[in-house]
């Protein structure tokens, strides 16, 4: 989930985020990344995404979840997804009840998007629920400010929460958007500079959203936005353990996997992760179609 962590949380439009200093960069991306076909191009690489590492962010199917949560999760399990990344809460269930339901489908909630906790009691509840669900990861999905001090304070709080999560056997991460790379906090320093210097790499990992990292490169005006994303991954002192995998149309819109311009082979070949999470905030046809296309794309891709 790319903008918030609950149905009532602040969620700016994707267009407004893109407009905030990113500009029009379709030409740069097109020059750097040949347009992809709807299926992965032929490639002689032997590596592939392990089936057990494919997941989907439930924000992608949020409209379907609101209509019939149980049927939507059953549909995802039927496609072949072995796990999901939670968003928008538990839809009327307790963590224990949701765990039992997912176990019955043969699908696991391995990760979740959760905002920073307002106090220690809320943090304890958040961690306890994640443990009950059998999660491996919990991830902060979105923070935004043009204040250097605010980003430093958030990094300090994430380190505290991550230490508590680690004691419970969980990995704690941060999920990027584009503004972390394009917001000037003064002296040319960006939120990404603050996060990568302040977050404890022993405690906090990164969940890199490839679409947003590429879009950040477009906003910075780099010649090769995909290379920019790869450099973001390689240079961070924190471990990159998860990807959000969504494609990008030439006009900057999000795209179903394989229908846009991002060369995922380059990214995956540069750095392997433990979870490849399909996502599209604005499905091209229907949320279920996006889920199907994404799963099949990752199963077929070789790099």
* CATH number of the domain bearing residue 113: 3.20.20.150
21 domain-assigned: yes
11 vs 228, residue with greater confidence: 228
For the cut 80, the answer to whether the pLDDT of residue 19 exceeds it is no
At 25-83, the pLDDT tens digits run 444 555 444 344 345 555 568 899 999 999 999 999 999 999 999 999 999 999 999 99
Task: Domain count for the chain, please give it.
Answer: 1
7 domain-assigned: no
For the cut 50, the answer to whether the pLDDT of residue 13 exceeds it is no
Band (pLDDT 50/70/90 cuts) for residue 6 is very low
For the cut 60, the answer to whether the pLDDT of residue 23 exceeds it is no
The C-alpha R_g of the chain, in whole angstroms, comes to: 18
8 domain-assigned: no
Strand 204-209 relative to strand 171-175: parallel, antiparallel, unpaired? Answer: parallel
pLDDT of residue 179: 99
Mean pLDDT of 118-135: 99
3 domain-assigned: no
Residues 6+ apart with CB under 8 A from 150: none
Domain of residue 117 covers: 14-300
Residues above pLDDT 70, as percent of the chain: 85
107 vs 8, residue with greater confidence: 107
Residues above pLDDT 90, as percent of the chain: 85
Mean pLDDT of 193-197: 99
For the cut 90, the answer to whether the pLDDT of residue 201 exceeds it is yes
Chain mean pLDDT for the chain:
91
2 domain-assigned: no
The pTM assigned to this predicted structure is: 0.89
Mean pLDDT of 256-268: 98
Band (pLDDT 50/70/90 cuts) for residue 210 is very high
For the cut 80, the answer to whether the pLDDT of residue 24 exceeds it is no
245 domain-assigned: yes
38 domain-assigned: yes
pLDDT of residue 7: 29
Distance between CA 275 and CA 299 in Å, rounded? 13
Band (pLDDT 50/70/90 cuts) for residue 1 is low
Which range has the worst mean pLDDT, 4-8, 88-92, 197-201, 286-290?
Answer: 4-8
Mean pLDDT of 266-276: 99
- Helix 69-79 × helix 95-105 angle, to 10°: 40
At 90-101, the pLDDT tens digits run 999 999 999 999
Mean pLDDT of 99-124: 98
257 domain-assigned: yes
At 239-254, the pLDDT tens digits run 999 999 999 999 999 9
pLDDT of residue 5: 35
């Amino acid at each position: 989930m790319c903008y918030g962590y609950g149905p009532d949380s602040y969620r700016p439009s994707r267009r407004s985020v893109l407009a905030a200093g990113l500009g029009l960069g379709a030409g740069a991306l097109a020059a750097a990344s040949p347009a992809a076909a709807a299926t992965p191009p032929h490639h002689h690489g032997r590596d592939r995404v392990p089936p057990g590492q494919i997941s989907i962010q439930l924000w992608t199917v949020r409209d379907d979840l609101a209509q019939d949560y149980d049927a939507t999760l059953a549909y995802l399990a039927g496609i072949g997804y072995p796990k999901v990344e939670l968003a928008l809460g538990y839809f009327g269930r307790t963590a224990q009840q949701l765990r039992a339901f997912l176990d019955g489908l043969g699908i696991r909630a391995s990760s979740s998007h959760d905002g920073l906790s307002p106090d220690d009691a809320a943090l304890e509840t958040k961690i306890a629920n994640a443990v009950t669900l059998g999660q491996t990861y919990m991830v902060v999905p979105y923070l935004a400010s043009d204040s250097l001090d605010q980003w430093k304070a958030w990094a300090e709080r994430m380190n505290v929460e991550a230490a508590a999560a680690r004691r419970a056997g969980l990995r704690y991460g941060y999920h990027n958007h584009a503004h972390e790379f394009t917001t000037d906090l003064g002296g040319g320093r960006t939120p990404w500079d603050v996060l990568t210097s302040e977050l404890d790499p022993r405690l906090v990992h990164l969940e890199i959203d490839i679409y947003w990292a590429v879009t950040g490169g477009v906003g910075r005006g780099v010649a090769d936005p995909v290379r920019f994303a790869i450099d973001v991954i390689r240079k961070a002192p924190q471990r990159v353990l998860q990807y959000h995998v969504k494609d990008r149309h030439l006009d900057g819109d999000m795209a179903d996997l394989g229908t846009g311009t991002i060369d995922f082979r380059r990214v995956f070949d540069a750095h392997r992760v433990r979870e490849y999470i399909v996502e599209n905030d604005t499905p091209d046809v229907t949320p279920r179609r996006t889920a199907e296309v994404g799963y099949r794309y990752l199963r077929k891709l070789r790099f």
